[in-house]
Amino acid sequence: MLSAGSLGVIILMLLIRLASKINPRKVIYGFAFVYLLFILLFFKLNSPFDLANSVLKQYPFINRDLYFGELIPAYIKYLPNSWLAESAYWISNGLVSYSLPLTFLQLSVSILLFIIVFLLGRKWYFKTWLMNLSLTAEHISNKRQKLYLFSFEKISGLKPLTESLLKRDFLIFLRDPSQWLHLVVLLLLIFVFLISVKGIRYVGLGNFYLQTGIYLSVFLFNLLLISTLSLRFIFPLISLEGEAYWKLKSAPVDISFIIKNKINSFGTFVIMISLILSYFTNYRFTFQIELIALIISFAAAVTIISINFGMGGLFANYKEKNAIRIASSQGASITFLINIVYMLFIIILIYHPISKYFLSIMVRKPFDLSAMLYPLIPITIVSLISIYISIDLARRSLTRDL
């Protein structure tokens, strides 16, 4: 953590210094391109899919005490996270002496980076602080002179009330750089995940339990991504209205219309991500399996969005303007636990038909697709009840006094 934090501060100061001499937009785009290039290169040279295949080649005769470090590319062992993993491995096996060199190396690098941060801070901190203020003021001045697509001066084909609320929510989202930066990082991780997950249908044939476990793990990971997006961007929506929310409450606007507008503006995007994840993880299967997976993913996405929106209203904090702090609050932790319970409920229901499906592939017998329809009934019932309760919580939170 100290190494990562120190390295982040060093990069930030270097970027600010560079932005003062070059166009800041070019610096941001250049850094984003280099960051994306490094991530793609890392997963290209160290594919999790290939690593999992290398381990599963020894299944079912895997020795839990076998050391799999040789499967990792040599250059990975020069990274601090590899040092930490290696140290944890040797300590867990009772060979503490083997972990001491790596631990000492990690501490040395952390101290070295911290010293560099301290020295750069003494030399550049005040200058970079003034540069940041100057760049921010220049950006605001330039932004006021431009007429953006979501500017209130531009008129679209939407109804005036819908247009004003939609543009307002969008501008509130953009005013905090951590919002759209985190969204870009999450979308990048989703893109990398979609690339790594190809070919899942053919992994583990010959053992349908293994195939079922892999499929359900990927399906659960899809739901976790949707839960992360919802918790990060849907949960704080009501709290981000701030203490000036009384202005909106005093306006002649129906509360149900506000709820509908907020869910449509942000929820639609999350639902689209959910359907894309479901499609790319199921497109190698039959059309019926793919369709049922899309239906379940859609129902789960709508439910998770509603739960996060309702709980965000229940635990609303209008004094907090930082979306990250809101998404890391105690209320957010409780919401995430509820999401996990709901996701496990879905996994339990689809386990039996999915295992039967992979068994039919292994023994080359026809599969009764009606077995996949039975879990849809309890999933639909629980989802509708959760959606109703969550929306009611949001409505009540919007009508109560601040």
Residues 226, 324: one domain? yes
Which range has the top average pLDDT, 99-103, 281-285, 314-318, 329-333? Answer: 329-333
Tokens of 203: 């992994």
Tokens of 384: 């509708």
Phi and psi at residue 325, to the nearest 5°: -65, -40
Residues 380, 318: one domain? yes
Residues 6+ apart with CB under 8 A from 281: 194, 197, 200, 218, 219, 222, 293
Residues 6+ apart with CB under 8 A from 262: 165, 169, 237, 238, 309
Residues 96, 198: one domain? no
* pLDDT at 384 > cutoff 90: yes
Residue 378 within a domain: yes
Residues 6+ apart with CB under 8 A from 24: 135, 139
CA 335-325-36 angle, to 5 degrees, is 95
Is the link from the previous residue into 24 a cis peptide, with omega within 30 of 0?
no
The single residue listed with the structure tokens 């636990």 is 337
Q: Calculate what percentage of the chain has a pLDDT beyond 70.
A: 76
* pLDDT at 204 > cutoff 70: no
**Better-scored residue on pLDDT, 28 or 72:** 28
Residue 101 within a domain: yes
pLDDT for the residue numbered 93:
74
Of the candidates 145, 172, 206, which is a domain's last residue? 145
Averaged pLDDT, 325-345: 90
Cα 123 to its chain centre, rounded Å, is 37
Do 306 and 386 meet the contact criterion of CB atoms below 8 Å apart? yes
* pLDDT at 340 > cutoff 90: yes
Amino acid identity of residue 99, one-letter, is S
Cα 183 to its chain centre, rounded Å, is 8
* pLDDT at 228 > cutoff 80: yes
Residues 135, 172: one domain? no
In angstroms, what CA-CA distances link 201 with 127, 211, 238, 274, 313?
56, 8, 41, 20, 41
Total residues belonging to the chain: 402
Q: What is the pLDDT of residues 249-274, one digit of tens each?
A: 666 666 667 777 777 778 888 899 88
The whole model's pTM is what?
A: 0.64
pLDDT for the residue numbered 69:
62
Domain count, the chain: 2
pLDDT for the residue numbered 352:
87
Residue 32 within a domain: no
Q: What is the pLDDT of residues 108-143, one digit of tens each?
A: 888 888 888 888 777 777 777 776 677 676 666 665
The single residue listed with the structure tokens 């290209």 is 44
3-state secondary structure of 210: helix
Residues 138, 209: one domain? no
pLDDT for the residue numbered 359:
81
Residues 76, 192: one domain? no
pLDDT for the residue numbered 337:
93
Residue 165 within a domain: yes
* Max CA separation in the chain (angstroms): 72
Amino acid identity of residue 176, one-letter, is D
202 pLDDT tier (thresholds 50, 70, 90): very low
3-state secondary structure of 39: helix
Residues 264, 190: one domain? yes
92 pLDDT tier (thresholds 50, 70, 90): confident
Residues 234, 347: one domain? yes
Residue 40 within a domain: no
**Better-scored residue on pLDDT, 20 or 388:** 388
Q: Which helix (H) or strand (E) holds 196?
A: helix 177-196
Q: Which domain holds residue 172?
A: 161-399
Average pLDDT, the chain: 77
Do 284 and 293 meet the contact criterion of CB atoms below 8 Å apart? no
**Better-scored residue on pLDDT, 329 or 66:** 329
Tokens of 54: 């290398």
The single residue listed with the structure tokens 């004094």 is 319
Residues 130, 167: one domain? no
Of the candidates 119, 145, 171, which is a domain's last residue? 145
Of the candidates 110, 145, 180, which is a domain's last residue? 145
Averaged pLDDT, 315-327: 81
The lowest-confidence range among 16-25, 133-142, 366-375 is 133-142
Residues 275, 391: one domain? yes
pLDDT for the residue numbered 341:
93
Residues 249, 339: one domain? yes
Residue 107 within a domain: yes
**Cα pseudo-dihedral 276, 281, 284, 290, rounded to 10:** -60
Residue 243 within a domain: yes
Do 140 and 237 meet the contact criterion of CB atoms below 8 Å apart? no
Calpha distance 371→352 (Å, rounded): 9
Cα 5 to its chain centre, rounded Å, is 21
Do 402 and 259 meet the contact criterion of CB atoms below 8 Å apart? no
Task: Please choose, from the candidates 264, 236, 209, 225, the residue with its C-alpha nearest in 3D space to the C-alpha of residue 343.
Answer: 225
**Better-scored residue on pLDDT, 205 or 250:** 250
Residue 152 within a domain: no
pLDDT for the residue numbered 338:
92
Residues 173, 300: one domain? yes
